């Protein structure tokens, strides 16, 4: 299983890095931030998947067909990142090499140790999630029967189309990864996915810390430690937002609450600090990506983005922030209208 974890880790992070390089170049985002490139790459993967998967599901296309097209698109993005933007990513690598020493602070080291402990614990334990019988079996059914969402996943018997989740088929993402790596989607979700999602979540907090305390590396490390600790010592039930990250990092709602909402906060912070078109487009891509994760994303994300935009517009006395924020929510709004059309 170690080999499968390593292979998936490399595929996910290296692929996301180069896709992110491509996106950052297109959007003219700042050079020299490899972690930002990875985060951007992941959200663009999710956004592209949403754009492709919704029509393919509606037109009852096979999972094999989806895998071929989606893999080709991802490969295209990765190759574009490698070939055409070499200079761009070389600067990222150089920057990483030169700055890595600066990140050896007590805070960063503590955060890293805590994260490794969290991964070790989760790797050797299991949480029995009842909802898996629905969500993980959507992925299993896709791989086994080659059908995307038109078999009732809990029993495997009823040919049905539950409109509640048709716009947010997140399990197909790990079905795709499991098809590429050659493991069962259940293993991909339960055993491999924590190794992808937990570091990704903390990369988002790493970037927030850089944005917040740009001139104080020690403070960035301490911020990261506090953020990691909060994920390990939260409150309430297992569905209390960030608690999801440790409990069920493979569930779409969990990824939404623990990764995408903080990521959206980070991207909006960039928008508020540097009013550049590229940042706003990245915000729009993040909003679209959130729709893949959960139908809740379609509804919650416009509330958050709208509120942040409104507050920033008031604070800066510049209503262009509000208009741009609303524009970034357009993917969610359109999918929300389509959702209402489907369910009524």
Partner 1 sequence: MQGFIEIAKTDFMATFEDSWIFPVLIFCIFWILWKEQDRTKKWLAGILPLILLVLYWCPITGILLMKILGENVYWRILWLVPVSVTIPVAFCLLLKSMKGGARFAVFLILSAVIVLGGKKVLSTEWFEPSTNVWKVPQNVVAVCDLLPGNVHVLASNRLTPYLRLYDPTLTLEYARNALIFNGMDEVYGPTANLYKAIQEPEIDVDIVGPLAREQGCTFLIFSIGRTYAGDWEDYGYREYASTDEFRIFVDEDYEEGQDTRKWED
Residues 81-140 that bind partner 1 (CB under 8 A): 106-107, 110, 118, 121-122, 124-128, 130, 132-134, 136-137, 140
User: Pattern 140-179, binding to partner 1, x per CB under 8 A?
Assistant: xx-xx-------xxxxxxxx--------------------
Integer Cα distance of 43 and 309 in angstroms: 20
Closest separation in Å from C-beta 38 to partner 1: 19
Select the residue interacting with partner 1 from 41, 81, 262, 331 (CB under 8 A). 262
Would you call 225 helix, strand, or coil by DSSP?
Answer: helix
Give min distance, CB of 18 to partner 1, in A: 29
Choices 58-66, 80-88, 180-188, 277-285; region in contact with partner 1 by CB under 8 A: 180-188
Report in angstroms how near the CB of residue 61 gets to partner 1 at its nearest: 19
CB of 94 to partner 1, least distance (A): 29
- Spatial contact of 62 and 150, defined as CB atoms under 8 Å apart: no
Coil, strand or helix: which one is 62?
A: strand
**Strand partners for 62:** 147
Least CB distance from residue 151 to partner 1, whole Å? 8
Run of H or E residues at 63: helix 63-83
**In this complex, which beta carbon is closest to partner 1, that of residue 30 or of residue 238?**
238
Give, as ranges, the residues between 203 and 232 that touch partner 1 (CB under 8 A).
205, 208-209, 212-213, 216, 218-219, 222-227, 229-232
The pair of three-digit structure tokens given for residue 313, joined into one six-digit string:
């517009």
Task: Find the binding residues for partner 1 in span 297-326 (CB under 8 A).
Answer: 299-300, 303-304, 307-308, 311-312, 314-316
Least Å from the CB of residue 83 to partner 1: 37
All residues at 6 or more sequence positions from 249 whose CB lies less than 8 Å from its CB, including other chains: 122, 193, 194, 197, 198, 201, 255, 258
User: Binding of partner 1 at residue 36 (CB under 8 A)?
Assistant: no
Q: How many residues does the chain have?
A: 344
Q: Which is nearer to partner 1, 85 or 195 (CB)?
A: 195
Nearer to partner 1, 88 or 212 (CB): 212
- Report the Cα–Cα distance between both ends of the chain, in Å, rounded: 45
Binding to partner 1 (CB under 8 A): which residues in 266-285? 268-269, 272-273
Q: How far is the CB of 246 from partner 1 (least distance, A)?
A: 5
CA separation for the pair 300, 253 (Å, rounded): 11
Long-range contacts of 134-139 (CB under 8 A, 24+ apart): 135/170, 135/171, 135/251, 135/252, 136/171, 136/185, 136/186, 136/189, 136/190, 136/250, 138/165, 138/169, 138/171, 138/172, 138/175, 139/171, 139/172, 139/174, 139/175, 139/178, 139/185, 139/186, 139/188, 139/189
**Considering beta carbons, is residue 98 or 343 the nearer one to partner 1?**
343
Residue 242 or 288: the one with the smaller Cβ distance to partner 1 is 242
| Nearest-approach distance from CB 129 to partner 1, in angstroms | 9
Q: Does 235 interact with partner 1 (rule: CB under 8 A)?
A: yes
Q: Which two tokens stand for residue 52?
A: 């492709």
Among 103, 161, 265, 338, binds partner 1 (CB under 8 A): 265
Helical pair 2-26 and 171-181, crossing angle rounded to 10 deg: 120
Q: Which is nearer to partner 1, 19 or 312 (CB)?
A: 312
For residue 68, the tally of other CB atoms under 10 A from its CB is: 11
Closest approach, Cβ 203 to partner 1, in A, equals: 14
Distance, in Å, from the CA atom of 344 to the CA atom of 333, rounded to the nearest integer, reads: 16
Asked if residue 35 binds partner 1 (CB under 8 A), the reply is: no
């Amino acid at each position: 299983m170690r080999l499968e974890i390593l292979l998936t880790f490399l595929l996910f992070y290296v692929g996301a890095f180069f896709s992110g390089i491509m996106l950052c170049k297109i959007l003219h985002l700042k050079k020299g931030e490899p972690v930002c490139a990875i985060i951007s790459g992941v959200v663009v993967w999710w956004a592209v998947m949403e754009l492709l998967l919704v029509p393919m599901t509606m037109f009852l296309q096979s999972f094999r067909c989806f895998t071929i097209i989606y893999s080709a698109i991802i490969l295209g993005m990765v190759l574009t990142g490698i070939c055409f933007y070499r200079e761009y990513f070389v600067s990222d690598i150089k920057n990483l090499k030169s700055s890595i020493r600066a990140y050896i602070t007590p805070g960063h080291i503590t955060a890293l140790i805590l994260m490794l402990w969290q991964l070790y614990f989760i790797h050797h334990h299991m949480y029995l999630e009842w909802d898996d019988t629905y969500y993980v079996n959507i992925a299993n059914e896709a791989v086994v029967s080659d059908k995307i969402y038109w078999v009732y996943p809990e029993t495997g018997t009823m040919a049905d189309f539950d409109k509640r989740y048709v716009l947010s088929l997140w399990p197909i993402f790990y079905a795709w990864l499991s098809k590429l790596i050659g493991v069962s989607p259940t293993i991909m979700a339960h055993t491999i996915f924590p190794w992808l999602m937990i570091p990704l979540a903390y990369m988002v907090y790493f970037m927030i810390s850089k944005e917040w305390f740009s001139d104080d590396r020690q403070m960035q490390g301490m911020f990261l430690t506090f953020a990691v600790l909060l994920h390990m010592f939260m409150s309430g039930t297992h569905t209390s937002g960030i608690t999801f990250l440790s409990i069920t990092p493979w569930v779409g709602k969990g990824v939404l609450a623990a990764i995408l909402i903080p990521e959206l906060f980070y991207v909006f912070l960039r928008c508020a600090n540097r009013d550049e078109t590229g940042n706003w487009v990245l915000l729009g891509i993040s909003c679209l990506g959130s729709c893949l994760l959960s139908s809740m994303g379609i509804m919650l994300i416009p509330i958050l983005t709208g509120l942040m935009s409104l507050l920033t517009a008031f604070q800066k006395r510049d209503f262009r922030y509000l208009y741009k924020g609303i524009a970034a929510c357009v993917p969610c709004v359109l999918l929300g209208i389509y959702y209402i059309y489907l369910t009524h």
